Amino acid sequence: MPGHKETKEFSHFDQTGNARMVDVSHKVDTLRQAVAQGSISMSTECFQLVRSGSIGKGDVLGVARLAGIMAAKKVDELIPLTHPLPITNSSIEFDLDEKNSTVKITATVGITGKTGVEMEALTAVSISALTIYDMCKAVDKSMTINAIRLLSKSGGKSGDYIYKRKE
C-alpha cells in the first residue's frame, strides 16, 4: 500500500484497524523451514493399543501422519489472513514414550517462498494430535493434547529462531 507504514506488531491491520492479508509480493523467495512439536498423553491401555496397531479404527499413527501432512497444505483455508503456500516438504514423526503413555509429534515443513511455514508446522502437529484423539476416543476420552510449540524456524528476513524454554 503506498504511504502505508507497516509495523511488525500490527502487520495484519491497515491504518484504520481493518484486518488485511499482508502484501508479500515485494519479498524475495528464500528457503524456509519450520519445526513444531506437541504431544498427546493417554491411558496405558490406550497407549499399548496405539503402539501395537490394535485400535479398532486402524493404523492410528499412519492416519495421523497423513492428516498432519494434509493439514499443513490447507492452512490458508483454516486460519484467516494466511497465504496459500506451495509447500515443498512436510513430514510428521512420532516418538512413543511408554513410561508416560505419551506420543510426541514433530512436524517439519519446508518451502522456497516469500513467507514462512510456522503456521503450517503448528497446524500439522495440532491436526495429527486431534486425529489420534479421534481414532482413540472410544478407548480413552481423557487424552490430553500438550505443549504445542514452534521448535525452530529458518529463513526469511527475521532469520533463524530456536525455542528456548522460558523459566
Q: ∠39-42-45 over CA atoms, to 5°?
A: 140
**C-alpha distances in Å from residue 139, one per residue of 52, 94, 108, 131:** 14, 20, 29, 14
- Sheet of 144-154, strand order: 89-97, 102-113, 30-41, 144-154, 161-162
Radius of gyration of the chain (CA): 18
Catalytic residue among 97, 134, 140, 160: 134
**CA neighbor of 39 nearest in space, from 131, 152, 126, 146:** 146
Long-range own/partner contacts, residues 9-14 (CB < 8 A, 24 or more apart)? 12/81
Concerning whether 134 is annotated as a catalytic residue, the answer is yes
Residues that are catalytic: 134
